[in-house]
Chains A and B, each alone.
Chain A
Amino acid sequence: MNPLLQVRNLTKHFPSRYGSRNLTAVKAVSLTVNAGETVGIVGESGCGKSTLGKSIIRLFEPDEGTVLFQDKDVLSLEKRALREMRREIQMIFQDPYGSLDSRMTIGAIVEEPLVIHGIGDRATRYKKMLRLLEITGLEQDAANRYPHEFSGGQRQRICIARALALRPKMIIADEPVSALDVSIQSQILNLLVDLKEKFDLSYIFISHDLAVVEHVSDHVAVMYLGGIVETAPTKDLFTRPCHPYTEALIKAIPQPDPLRTRERIVLQGEIPDPENPPSGCAFHPRCPKVMDICKTATPEEKNIGVNETGHLIRCHLY
């Protein structure tokens, strides 16, 4: 069976404010999401995770590459066809405060996707809306209230209800919990996991928090400066991180057990300026295992996996 979503060599430039040099936010990213699977994307702030997510559903127009969703080429879709496609892929945004229109009632917000796509009459839409509120754990009287009356966690529930309204096959969750308190984070994560079972969803789960990604993902892709450096099944990645960057990230996850000592790899320096990326491997200025070849040649993608699920890596060490 073909994968639900296939992204190949997706590249997105932004014009630079000064000079003619472009900022390459996403650099030749390839990604595969199978039906019913959750793919986590991790990386530091500014590495292009959100741009990747938004480019896939063409909130930003990508410059190069292909996106195949159910074997349809998303990037060549006409406006009308694109609107149809958006029924199938929904998005949850990072900021539950900014992504809800403060002048609409919750009922209107959750119903909006149905109105846009002309689904059902007023009464059925109303019933569907109430059902969506119930599914996402909101009170029914929320329908007549406004977003500012809700807490961050409840608002993210509203966003989830809105994303579910069209019964999409896939949801791109762009840092859905990073704006929330830790205690609320797990509630929202569990809700997302439950909904995945219930509605046969696939997720692209974007986060900078490795622990969160480990909890929800089947596959994880690690991004650095616009490119994916390592992709592997979650278990594989966390037990056998191969790329020095992944290794450093995983070692940096706080351990709850104070007796267990562990070696930490502290990365030196900042993430480089994406307008002026380093030559060769983008990670080489900060890499603890840097070699001469890293400074000149860009590493190719290699499969070092033991089985066909694959463990893809871009590093000269392998």
Chain B
Amino acid sequence: MVYLNQTAYSKKRTYHFLPKILFGYPSCVTTALVYFSSTQKKMNETWKRFKRDKVALFGGTVIVIVVTAALLAPWVTPYDPHEQFFDGLTLEGAPLPPNKRFPLGTDLLGRDLYTRLVYGARTSLIIGIAANAAAVLVGTLLGIIAGYLGGWVGNAIMRFTDLMMAFPALLLAIALASILTPSLWIVAMVIALVNWVQTARVIYTQTLSIAEQEFIQAARALGATPIRILWVHILPHLIPHIMVWATLGISVTVLFEATLSFLGIGVQPPTPSWGGIIFESQSYFLTAPWLVIFPGISILLFALGFNLVGDGLRDAMDPTQRGRN
């Protein structure tokens, strides 16, 4: 007979008490934190598997570098992001290519591109993470409600989602942004408002198909309440899908912010943003390619990092993947 460590076992079981906690805390964020932290043993296992995934670790490293750089921007950059240098332009007024003084060259106004990219990471992080997290949260919530409750509530939600999908997102964003004065947080909100739709659709169909499965019926036969079924049996199966959208969405939102900036309703200059830098300088693409290439690479690496980590986490959290790799 195998000896079992009982305390380790009980630790893992904690999350069955969460429906009760759910009522105690009104805040979704608190609940989510409790939900994830209480499954500590599971987390340790997930981390163990995640560590073995080299590709995901690479993605994680990229994210850590970007976040650190954004947080420590004043210390890791040589100049002020808004400072226009007299020697930052050629005599004809063209931007400088990468050189000793300006490691990644200068932009159209003679500002240091490297410094602006690092400060721009702040914008992209806020937009990419906050806007996207809000969009995924709203989408997940509406998708689960529509999928699990069904009936006229579900129908109403899904018809509204269809409406949002059919309506050009950019047009809506332009309308919203011109009513409200554009600022970083307003832009984030606008992006969240148009981006929850895809998540809602995917989570809706997934919830439908999970709710059809026999283990849900089995749980009902045991006497489980709808809230328990949603929390203990449906949500854990949705997490991989939520994860995919949360990470894929980051690249989508960063690019969306770039589009908005291009149209003049995104983050307002002189605040640097990656998309903004590309679009400011797109007509100089042939004469000053570094102005497009470096922010482009930044967006690519940033989005890639999140996608890789998302994939890695999804696999690491799947118990059927245990013992693989």
Contact surface of A with B, Cβ cutoff 8 Å: 54, 57, 59, 82-84, 86-87, 90-91, 93-95, 98-105, 107-108, 111-113, 115-117, 122-123, 126, 130, 139-141, 143-144, 146, 148, 159, 162, 166
Contacts and interface: CB of A to CB of B under 8 A. Distances in A.
A102 B319 contact: yes
Given A99-B218, A107-B13, A141-B4, 4 more contacts: A100-B215, A108-B12, A113-B222, A141-B2
B223 interface: yes
A78 to B, nearest CB: 13
A99 B319 contact: no
A94 B215 CA distance: 11
A98 B215 contact: yes
Contact of B10 (A83, A99, A126, A140): A126
B215 A99 contact: yes
Interface of B: 1-2, 4, 6, 9-10, 12-13, 16, 213-215, 217-225, 228, 232-233, 236-237, 319-320, 322
A93 B9 contact: no
B319 A116 contact: no
Contacts of B213: 98
Contacts of A111: 13
Contact of B214 (A57, A99, A107, A148): A99
B214 A98 contact: yes
What 8 pairs between A and B have smallest CB-CB spacing?
A98-B214, A86-B223, A141-B2, A83-B223, A146-B319, A99-B214, A91-B221, A103-B236
Contact of A112 (B9, B217, B222): B222
Contacts of B10: 122-123, 126
Contact of A116 (B9, B217, B228, B236): B228
B320 A143 contact: no
Contacts, number: 91
A143 B6 CA distance: 11
B226 to A, nearest CB: 10
Contacts of A112: 16, 219, 222, 224
By CB atoms of chain B within 10 A, which of A90, A104, A159 has the most?
A: A104
Name the prevailing secondary structure of the B interface residues: helix
Contacts of B1: 140
Given A108-B13, A122-B10, A143-B4, A116 B223 contact: yes
Contact of B320 (A84, A123, A148): A148
A113 B13 contact: no
Contact of B6 (A87, A93, A126, A159): A126
A184 to B, nearest CB: 19
B151 to A, nearest CB: 14
Contacts of A54: 217
Given A101-B233, A140-B4, A113 B223 contact: yes
B222 A86 contact: yes
Q: Which of B217, B222, B237 has the largest count of A CB atoms less than 10 A from its CB?
A: B222
A57 B13 contact: no
B220, B237, B322 pick with most chain A CB within 10 angstroms? B220
13 contacts: A90-B222, A91-B218, A94-B214, A98-B214, A101-B233, A102-B319, A116-B225, A117-B223, A123-B6, A130-B4, A140-B1, A140-B2, A166-B222
Contact of B12 (A59, A87, A105): A105
A119 B146 CA distance: 33
> In this complex, which of A103, A143, A144, A159 has the most chain B Cβ atoms within 10 angstroms of its Cβ?
A103
Contacts of A140: 1-2, 4
Given A107-B9, A143-B9, A162 B222 contact: yes
A115 B214 contact: no
